[in-house]
Amino acid sequence: MLFREAFSFDGNAPLGLCPLVSKSSYDPRDRFFLKAKKEGLRARSAYKLDEIQRRFRLLRPGGTVLDLGAAPGGWCQIAAREVGPRGFVLGLDLEVIPPLPPPTQTWVADAFSPELLTRLRSDGHAPYDAVLSDLAPRTSGIRSADEARSVALAERALGLALQVLKPAGAFVVKVFMGGDFEAFVKLCKQAFAETKIVKPEASVARGSKEVYLVCRTIRHPQSFEVGDLSDEIEQQG
Q: Does 83 bind ligand SAM (CB under 6 A)?
A: no
Q: Does 42 bind ligand SAM (CB under 6 A)?
A: yes
Q: Which of 142, 206, 213 is nearest to 177 (CA)?
A: 213
Q: Does 43 bind ligand SAM (CB under 6 A)?
A: yes
Q: Does 74 bind ligand SAM (CB under 6 A)?
A: yes
Report how far residue 201's alpha carbon sits from residue 158's, in angstroms, rounded to the nearest whole number: 24
Judged by CB under 6 A, the residue of 71, 162, 164, 165 near ligand SAM is 71
Report how far residue 51's alpha carbon sits from residue 25's, in angstroms, rounded to the nearest whole number: 21
Tell me the closest approach of the beta carbon of residue 217 to ligand SAM, in angstroms. 24
Kindly state the number of chain residues that form the binding site for ligand SAM, as judged by CB under 6 A: 21
Q: Does 27 bind ligand SAM (CB under 6 A)?
A: no
> Residues with catalytic annotation?
174
Using DSSP bridges, classify how beta strands 128-133 and 88-93 pair: parallel, antiparallel or unpaired: unpaired
Judged by CB under 6 A, the residue of 1, 35, 94, 237 near ligand SAM is 94
Q: Which of 41, 30, 34 is nearest to 74 (CA)?
A: 41
Q: Does 89 bind ligand SAM (CB under 6 A)?
A: no
- DSSP letters, 110-123, are -TT-HHHHHHHHHS
CB atoms within 10 A of CB 153: 25
Q: Does 3 bind ligand SAM (CB under 6 A)?
A: no
Tell me the closest approach of the beta carbon of residue 126 to ligand SAM, in angstroms. 17
